[in-house]
Amino acid sequence: MIKSKQIYMSKQSYSAQEGLGYLGEDLLIQGTVHSEKKIVVSCTVEGSLHGDQEIIVSEKGNVNGKIEGNVVVVAGKINGDMLVHERLEVNSTANLHGEVHVPSGQLLIQEGAYMEGQCITSKNKQTAKQLTS
């Protein structure tokens, strides 16, 4: 967590006191990452990534493993399965390989995004959460 440095995104300023985790470009993380707050991933993660709130994989972010979260925004590279409980946004710079589970009507894919794999939509959020059981 960044304690005093400010991070600027979408014309808003966030700090660690407001509940933002930031994994910078110079990091290589091997294993499991779990965040209770909003997290921005700009590094390489070799393993699983779990978020209780929002997970943002920036353009420089690279995740090789499973992602599970409520709201997931992808602008970088994902090589692994995703389980999204509320909403998935795939930006034009994203490159996804793997199976994606998301509630019906809660998937936004921008023109230019690359996806290879299977997308499974569920009728409601509860059904998506039950997939992990």
d(C-alpha 83, C-alpha 3), whole Å: 30
What is the pTM assigned to this prediction? 0.80
CB 130 within 8 A of CB 105: no
Task: Return the half-sphere exposure (C-beta side, CA atoms, 13 A cut-off) of residue 58.
Answer: 17
- 2 class by beta-carbon count within 10 Å (0-12 exposed, 13-18 middle, 19+ buried): middle
Within-domain flag for 57: yes
Domain count, the chain: 1
- Quick check: is 1 in a domain? no
Task: Of 11-20, 40-49, 102-111, give the lowest mean pLDDT range.
Answer: 11-20
Q: Does the residue 122 lie in any domain?
A: yes
- Is 35 contained in some domain? yes
118 in a structural domain: yes
Residue 123, pLDDT score = 81
Tens digit of pLDDT for each residue in 112-129? 999 999 999 988 655 455
Quote the tokens at residue 44. 């390489």
Looking at the domain assignment, is residue 51 inside a domain? yes
Question: Domain of 68?
Answer: 7-130
